[in-house]
Amino acid sequence: MVKRSIQTSKPGFIFGIEHDHLAIRAARISTDGRSGYTVDKLEEIKGDYSEDVGLLDGLRKVRNLLDIGTRDPVVSCLSGKQVFATQLPFRKLAGDEMEQALRLELRKSVHFEVATSTMDYEVLDEDEGSTGGVAQVMVALAANSLLTRHLSLLEKAGLKAVAVDVLPVAVANALWAWKVGREGDHPLVALHIGPQVSTIVIDGELSPFFNRNLYFAAEDVFALDPSSGDRDKRIRALAEDIARSLVFYEKSAQTSGFLEILILGEYLAQDQLIEAIQKGTGLPLKKMDLAGQLGSPREAFPGRFDLAVALALRGGT
């Protein structure tokens, strides 16, 4: 579940699939095995995917649309209240001892049961000047019930999951994929807009990973009358929440230098949303476009397929 860089892969196709309760988005990427990637096909299908029956049917449709074989590598994504990701300083321990110690530590901040969850972690680097082998560690956690259900649906749909990311890590991986070949040590900011929840992610080479869920029900907000005072109020509340998150990060990480906010997900065509966030944070917003960056052969939808593309890139590592 944890990966913050894109590596080389075997030649062939790799696939990324992500969904919410309204849509499934998928990407097929061709790779030459030498870190060369090209977006080969993108597909989005809309429907009711809030229940297993509908989601299974949708996954089967996506498999057929992208011609995914039973042995082709697929990377998918988990989101919701029973996933968690964080970066923390932690003393390096051996094997199972490290995992057990991390689970004990996470019990202090995770609101669902840690003991019955699947955990993945990655030691990033050792803190300068630290004693006792303290290192920065990225940790991802998902409730077993959620992960088991997800993997079962993929298997029934004829899809071979080689990895499952939690949403905040998937967004961070999209950031790193976007940054490839670009200089700069400033913290990167991404905002993923979903139908019911938005997620802000901050990460950098010299600054720690941070994520926070923002409870902004875009699906409901943009169903309101555009001139509605309530619509404007809720959008401004989101912008203020983002601004507070940025201030919190600057103080807690003791770093600054935000240049822009990369936005991805749905509802990116809403000018009222873009303008409110830019005004509330004082930062320009830019739609991420990994598909365009990797040569998408069809009309680009900046931001819409970025998670699926980033997930597919994980399938070749």
pLDDT in tens, 232-263: 999 999 999 999 999 999 999 998 889 999 99
Find where tokens 């720690």 sit.
208
What pLDDT score was predicted for residue 298?
A: 63
What pLDDT score was predicted for residue 5?
A: 46
Cβ atoms 294, 5 nearer than 8 A:
no
Inter-residue long-range contacts of 87-90, CB under 8 Å, 24+ positions, other chains counted: 87/124, 87/136, 87/137, 87/138, 87/139, 87/208, 87/209, 87/210, 88/136, 88/137, 88/139, 89/127, 89/130, 89/134, 89/135, 89/136, 89/137, 90/134, 90/135, 90/136, 90/137
By DSSP bridging, strand 117-126 and strand 73-78 are: unpaired
What pLDDT score was predicted for residue 148?
A: 97
Cβ atoms 11, 31 nearer than 8 A:
yes
Prediction pTM value: 0.91
Binning pLDDT at 50, 70 and 90, where does residue 206 land? confident
What pLDDT score was predicted for residue 199?
A: 96
Binning pLDDT at 50, 70 and 90, where does residue 7 land? very low
Number of helices (H) and strands (E), helices first, in the chain?
Answer: 9, 13
Residue 104, Cβ neighbours under 10 Å: how many? 10
121 pLDDT exceeds 60? yes
Residue 84 gets the label, from left (phi > 0), alpha (psi -120 to 50) or beta, of beta
| Secondary structure of residue 191 in the 3-state scheme | strand
| Mean pLDDT (whole number) for 140-154 | 97
6 pLDDT exceeds 60? no
CB half-sphere exposure, 284, CA atoms < 13 A = 4
Percent of the chain at pLDDT exceeding 90: 71
What pLDDT score was predicted for residue 1?
A: 55
